[in-house]
Amino acid sequence: MRLGINTFLFTSPFTNESTSLFPRFKKWGFATVEIPVEDPSHINPAHVKAELDKHGLVCGSVCACMGPDRDLRGTPEQQKTGLDYMLKLIDQMVVLECPSLIGPVYSAVGRADAVPEKEQKQQWKTVVKNLKTLCKYAEKKGKQVCLEPLNRFETDFINTCDQGLKMLRDVGSRALRLHLDTFHMNIEEKNQGKAIRKAGKTLGHFHACGSDRGTPGNDHIDWKPIVAALKGIGYQGDVVIESFTTDVKVIARAAAIWRRMEPTRDEIATKGIRFLKKALA
């Protein structure tokens, strides 16, 4: 398991200039970088790849940023915008030599509605159709798409491992995997270890976050069964710290971060990686 860091902890949007963060990440001991590409025009993937190589890092994952206009269960326009955006991300991943597109690839973050069952079923069919198109392209390019269940306050669509697995079955693509996050699971799963074991070989990506979205290990989550489950299923993917602070205002508002979780954001990264190295040893 490689340890990674999501750049949202330090900047938004990630641009070519944001590669100045890479020496710090390397110094702290991270092996991979998770890059949220808010708009494909923000980066030259060849430049980012060269900077990663220069500092002995790899882009382990590109995070899909699903705003209101990017919604695979939305209006026809929102579906097209969301699908076109993620197809472009996969093209950039080829240049970055990045294996995984991750995140809530099915819907706009923050869309949480109580819809009639009939409408929900239709939305599900629409997402299945769009994900089949996305995953067919990912297969062609040799990439995987890792679908992330979010908590109930950020989506009403896929909240649990079980729901994610159902979507994987319905799409039926070898390119579609599951992406689990300890913050979201802390809210939605009865038992995080059992959810990880249920995901099994379909688990393609993993976020390690504190229960308050701060430092992993400096929280109330019981990490021992989580680590045991990851080892039990033979997980070999990335374990990424995806935490947020009030320093990055746009992300703080989007993620409802209203107070400082830790003294500094550097501490989230440095203390978090020390904890995870010890826990995963």
State the catalytic residues.
148, 242
What per-residue confidence (pLDDT) applies to 135?
A: 98
Q: What is the mean pLDDT of residues 83-102?
A: 98
Work out the percent of the chain whose per-residue pLDDT is above 90: 88
Residue ranges of E strands in the chain: 2-6, 32-37, 58-64, 100-103, 144-147, 176-181, 203-207, 238-241
Nearest by Cα to 145 from 197, 86, 188: 86
Q: Residues 105, 68: contact at Cβ < 8 Å?
A: no
Structure token pair of residue 113 = 């509605």
| CATH no. for 2-280 | 3.20.20.150
pTM for this one? Answer: 0.95
Nearest by Cα to 215 from 245, 257, 189, 190: 245
The H helix count followed by the E strand count for the chain is 10, 8
What per-residue confidence (pLDDT) applies to 147?
A: 98
Residue 218 class from Cβ within 10 Å (0-12 exposed, 13-18 middle, 19+ buried)? middle
Nearest by Cα to 181 from 223, 249, 248, 242: 242
What per-residue confidence (pLDDT) applies to 20?
A: 98
Work out the percent of the chain whose per-residue pLDDT is above 70: 95
pLDDT single digits (tens) 106-115: 999 999 988 8
Q: Residues 204, 179: contact at Cβ < 8 Å?
A: yes
Report the range of poorest mean pLDDT among 30-34, 104-108, 259-263: 259-263
Q: What are phi and psi of 205, to 5 degrees?
A: -160, 150
CA distances (Å), 93 to each of 45, 139, 143, 154, in order?
A: 8, 13, 8, 26
3-state SS, residue 126: helix
Query: Could you tell me the pLDDT band of residue 63, with boundaries at 50, 70 and 90?
Result: very high
Structure token pair of residue 176 = 């579609």
pLDDT single digits (tens) 201-229: 999 999 999 998 889 999 999 999 999 99
Q: DSSP state, 111?
A: B
Nearest by Cα to 98 from 243, 237, 196: 237
What per-residue confidence (pLDDT) applies to 252?
A: 63
Q: Residues 242, 181: contact at Cβ < 8 Å?
A: yes
Nearest by Cα to 205 from 106, 61, 35: 61
Query: Could you tell me the pLDDT band of residue 259, with boundaries at 50, 70 and 90?
Result: confident
- φ/ψ bin of 221: left (φ > 0), alpha (ψ from -120 to 50), beta (otherwise): beta
